[in-house]
Structure 1
Amino acid sequence: MVYKFRVILDAEEDVFRDIAILSTDSLEDLHNAIVNAFGFDGLEIASFYTCDDEWIQEDEIPLFDTGEDDKTSMAGHTLESLLDLDRTKIIYVYDFLNMWTFFVELAAIEEPESGASYPELLFSHGEMPAEAPEKEFGSNDDMFGDDFDDDYDDEDLDMFDDDHNFEDLGFDERNWN
């Protein structure tokens, strides 16, 4: 079967690509198709993230096996093992310094066309911006702020005030550079 995806850049402007790829191909193959479709050089680290229907990020699937928490790499996951008509969404992040973020949605599952080679770029809309769109990280509510409220003030960090005596610790200041 052929999976047809719409890959949308998380930006204010409409920038997306439609890609057809075999359902038996790996996430690494989809990664390569996305890199080519959007004109990246492919030299940066990337990850896919499973998500729910509201695009809430869940599990990471990295480009390379990091050996942490039994994660496997993109090469270890076929598209059909993760996505179907009931599970249609996945998030893709390319270049963790710039955080190019894409919403990848399975739009159709079809029979392969005779003579077609996959993956295939079906449609391209919009120009890629010169820089990745800025992201706002964090929460709208201060759900953790109360955990850090205490009697702390800036004077608590003053290690050179008269209350601290470093002579008893055996340091010889003449040896300091």
Structure 2
Amino acid sequence: MIYKFRAILDAEEDVFRDIAIDENASLEDLHNAIVNAFGFDGMEVASFYTCDDTWNQEDEIPMFDAGDIPGEQKTMSDYGLNDLLYDEQTKIIYVYDFINMWTFLVELAAIEEPIIGETYPALIFSHGELPAEAVEKQFEADNDNDFYSEFEDDIDEDDLDAFGTDDSFEDYGFEENWN
């Protein structure tokens, strides 16, 4: 079977790509298809995130195993599309380039028979131009729980300079050129 996805860029203007890919392909294959469909160079790190029906982010599925024990963390290449996405679970979030945070809402739109002679993955529809920059994300802290606000009046600028203004190391029991 062929999975048809719509990858929607989180942006002010409508920008999306429809991608057809074999159901047995991996998340890494879908990652590569999205990178190609949007014209990225593919040199940045990315992750998928499972989510619920209202796009609330859940578990991360990274490109690389960054866990403490090698081989313990599953990566994109470890998951087949049909392992995670099916008729009842159709949504996944994709983030490309953790500096710019290009964020995509990826939804399984259809499951169809393959077209004879068609090569997959395939870009089947493209709408909108990729903006020059990703939409800047606004991360806001709850003001009632702002950890630093209760201490900001107590900050003494002299306490911030641990070595004093003359950069003297004598008080610390070692010379400036100790190595």
- TM-score normalized by structure 1? 0.84
Partner of 1:6: 6
Letter in 2 for 1:82: L
CA contact (8 A) 1:66 1:72 kept: no
- Larger mean CA deviation between 111-120 and 26-35 belongs to 111-120
Letter in 2 for 1:19: I
TM-aligned CA deviation for residue 37 of structure 1:
0.4
Percent identity for Structure 1 against Structure 2: 64
The residue matched to 2:66 in structure 1 has which SS? coil
Deviations 1:51-96 (A, max 9, x none): 1111111111111222348321111000000111111111111111
The answer to whether 1:113 aligns with 2:115 is yes
TM-aligned CA deviation for residue 138 of structure 1:
3.0
Unaligned runs of 5+ in 2: none
- Larger mean CA deviation between 62-71 and 96-105 belongs to 62-71
Calculate the aligned-residue CA RMSD, in Å. Answer: 2.5
Cα distance in 1, alignment partners of residues 152 and 18 from structure 2: 55
Cα distance in 2, alignment partners of residues 155 and 135 from structure 1: 32
Deviations 1:83-142 (A, max 9, x none): 111111111111111111111011111111212111111100001111112111234x33
Partner of 1:134: 136
- TM-score normalized by structure 2? 0.83
Partner of 1:100: 102
Letter in 1 for 2:150: D
TM-aligned CA deviation for residue 145 of structure 1:
1.9
TM-aligned CA deviation for residue 18 of structure 1:
0.4
The answer to whether 1:144 aligns with 2:145 is yes
Partner of 2:155: 154
Count residues with an aligned counterpart.
170
